Amino acid sequence: MSYEIKLPLFEGPFDLLLFFIERDELDIYDIPISQITKDFLDYIRHLETMNMEVASEFILVAATLMRIKAKMLLPRPVLDEEGKEIDPREELVKHLLEYKKYKSVLSELAKFEEDRSQLESRGNITRELKSLSENANVEWELLNLDLYKLLKVFQRVMERYEYELNRPSHKVIQWPYTLEQQKKYILQKVGKESRVSFSQIIEDNPTKIAVIFNFLSILDLLQLKLITMHIGIGFNNFWIESFEAVRSN
């Protein structure tokens, strides 16, 4: 038994974000960034599964959401000149509100466009109909065909072919890591060795994406107060241990 998955198509990434916010009745001024990032990435992965090209603006917004999520996990918030904490979601909320404002008038503009399309422009209708009939007449076109016109058509076809051949494509790669998996991995490692340096975790899997996932997992565990951190020896190195080990000492 086979089934077909149908995904709704959205005009842009902000249209998709507003859909999630309205669907789950979320507060646009207090967006749960972790939840909406997961929904956004799931939609992009489904598009990739269906062999549909993902536009660059969707990838840009996905990267922005993950950057905001990383900022919100940092233990030290960013402060403005007056010493107030800056919400990493502030700029995203601003763009969403602007998009929502312009989207609200699209229905009116569409109605104006439809009404305008029903109007007929003034002009010499007889001459225009004659011109259209001549252009649609294949025999008339063949009579006026020459080598120059053929070469111009060939040139346009080759230019279009080159453009299609070299058109940039975007692909979302599904990495074999998740924050939940890496948090469990770090807790298990700390549980076995009681105290682990960040350089040891990097040595286990030195790939760039693994380092990022492990670092974000450590920040999340710090926020959940499941581990604690101590400054270690060496550049950008630190030690982590579980709160249970600290209490027992």
Q: What is the DSSP string of 95-109?
A: HHHHHHHHHHTHHHH
Instruction: Return the CATH class of domain 179-248.
Output: mainly alpha
User: Minimal CA–CA distance to 58: which of 109, 10, 2, 92?
Assistant: 10
Domain spans, the chain: 13-107, 121-166, 179-248
Quote the pLDDT of residue 5.
37
Q: Is 229 helix (H, G, I), strand (E, B) or coil?
A: strand
Per-residue pLDDT of the chain (249 residues; tens, 9 = 90+): 333 334 455 667 888 888 888 888 888 888 888 888 888 888 888 776 665 566 677 778 888 888 888 877 776 667 777 777 778 888 888 888 888 887 777 777 777 777 777 766 655 666 666 666 666 555 555 556 677 777 888 888 888 888 888 877 766 667 788 888 889 998 888 888 878 888 888 888 888 888 888 888 888 888 888 888 887 665 567 788 886 655 555
Cβ atoms of 240 and 189 closer than 8 Å:
no
Of 72, 110, 75, 105, nearest to 90 by C-alpha is 72
Of the candidates 149, 151, 238, which has an alpha carbon nearest to the alpha carbon of residue 190?
238
Beta pairing, strands 227-231 & 238-242: antiparallel
Contact assessment for residue 201 and residue 214, using Cβ atoms and an 8 Å cutoff: yes
